[in-house]
Chain A
Amino acid sequence: MNDRQLQDLLRRIPRDDAREDFRKRVLERLDEPAPAPAVPVWARASLAAAAALVMIVLAPWGISFWNDSRGPSPHDRERDRTALAALRAERDSLERELREIAALASPADDGVIYLGGNDEVDLVFDLRSAARLMGGGGAHVEPASFSKGQGRP
C-alpha cells in the first residue's frame, strides 16, 4: 500500500457531523457546576509517597505504643518481682555490712590521715597531735609508725 492509497482510504472515511440538537444541549449545560479540578498525577503520586513514608515512620512507634499500653504480661510481672526482691536483699546485706564496719572502727582511729608510704615506712598525720602542737607553738610532724627493725630517730 503506497502513500497515495493510504491517503485515499483515510479520506474515504465518512465525516461525522454534529447532531441537530448539539447546540441546544451544550447551551443547556452551561449552568451546570464545573467539575472539581482533577488532582494532577504528580500530586497524587507525591501524596501516596508521603503517606507511605508516614506509615513507615509511624508503624514501629504505633506498635511499640500499643504493646506498652497493654501493660506487662504475668510472666514479665513475676520476673520483675523476683528482680526487685533480689535488689532489696542486696541492699539489706550492704547496710548490714556497713553497720558492722562502723562498729569495728575505734574512736582512737579518728583524726588520723594516711599520707602515703612505701615498703619501709607509712606516713600518717595525727590531727589531734597537730592541734595540740599548734597550741604549743611550732608544727612538729613525726612518723607515727615504723617498719620492723627501725628505731626512732
Chain B
Amino acid sequence: MAGGARTEHLTETALPLSAGAVSPDADAALMARVKQGDREAFGTLVDRYKDQIVNYLARLTGSTDRAHDLAQETFLRLYRTAGRYEERGQLAALIYRIATNLVRSEERRARRVRFFSFDFNSHDRRDARPGPQAGLLRDEATERVSEALAALPLPFRVPLVLHEIEGWSVPEIAASIEVPEGTVKSRISRAKDKLRETLAPYWQGVSR
C-alpha cells in the first residue's frame, strides 16, 4: 500500500489496509468473537481503528466534533451488523465504507434541510469551536487547505483523502468505494485541480 515514497507522516499515523500493524487475520479472529457478542474483542477493534477513522472523518467533514460523533456511529453500526459480516480480509475497507456512507447520508440530509428552509447561505457546517488539534491548526496554510478539502464534493473528497492523507493505494480505494480504478484516478486528479483552483489566490499571495 503506502509505497516507499510515502512520507514519514503517513507511515507513522495512517494504517493502510495492508500495513503490518493491522493484520487481517487478527481482525478476522476479533470479528469472529464479536459475532459471538464478545464486547472486549469489539473494544479491541475500536482501539485498533479509532484514530484512523476519526482522522478520516475529520478530513471529510472539516469538524473534529462531527468526526467523533460519526466515528462512534460507525463503530456502533459495525457492531450491529457483525452478525452478517462475512470474512474476506476487508474489515478496514468495511469500516471506512460505513464511515463514508454516514458522511454521505449526513450531507444529503443537510442539503434537504437547507432546501426546505431556503437557507442557502448556511453551507458551512464546520463548527466554530476549536477541536483538540486547534493549536496545531494555527498555521493558516493548513487551515485553508483543510477548509478547501472539506468543501470538495464528496465523490472527489473521499478518494483524495484516502489516497493522499490515509495513504491507500488506488486499487484499495476502488475496492472500498466500489468504483473502477480509472474512476478513482480521475476523481483524485480532478479533486486536486479543484483544490488548486480554490487555493490559488492564497498560494499566489504566500509565494510572493
Contact = CB atoms under 8 A, between A and B. Distances in A.
B50 interface: yes
Contacts of A12: 139, 141-142, 145
Given A10-B149, A16-B58, A22-B54, 8 more contacts: A7-B164, A16-B55, A17-B51, A18-B54, A19-B68, A22-B72, A25-B72, A30-B79
Interface in A6-22: 6-7, 9-19, 22
Contacts of B122: none
A23 interface: yes
Nearest to A7: B164
| Main SS at interface, chain B | helix
Contacts of B7: 11
B165 A22 contact: no
> Closest 5 A-B residue pairs measured CB to CB?
A14-B136, A18-B50, A16-B58, A18-B54, A17-B51
A139 to B, nearest CB: 98
A10 B164 contact: yes
Contact-size category for A:
20 to 34
A1 to B, nearest CB: 5
A38 B73 CA distance: 15
A41 B139 CA distance: 41
B179 interface: no
28 contacts: A3-B192, A6-B192, A9-B199, A11-B9, A11-B10, A11-B164, A12-B141, A12-B142, A13-B59, A13-B149, A14-B136, A16-B54, A16-B131, A16-B133, A17-B132, A18-B50, A19-B68, A22-B46, A22-B71, A23-B43, A25-B72, A26-B46, A27-B46, A29-B72, A30-B76, A30-B79, A32-B76, A34-B80
A26 B195 CA distance: 34
Given A26-B46, A26-B75, A29-B72, A15 B142 contact: no
Contacts of A14: 133, 136-137, 142
A17 B164 contact: no
A19 B46 CA distance: 12
Nearest to B105: A38
Nearest to A20: B132
Contact of A26 (B58, B76, B136, B142): B76
A14 B137 CA distance: 7
A18 B65 CA distance: 10
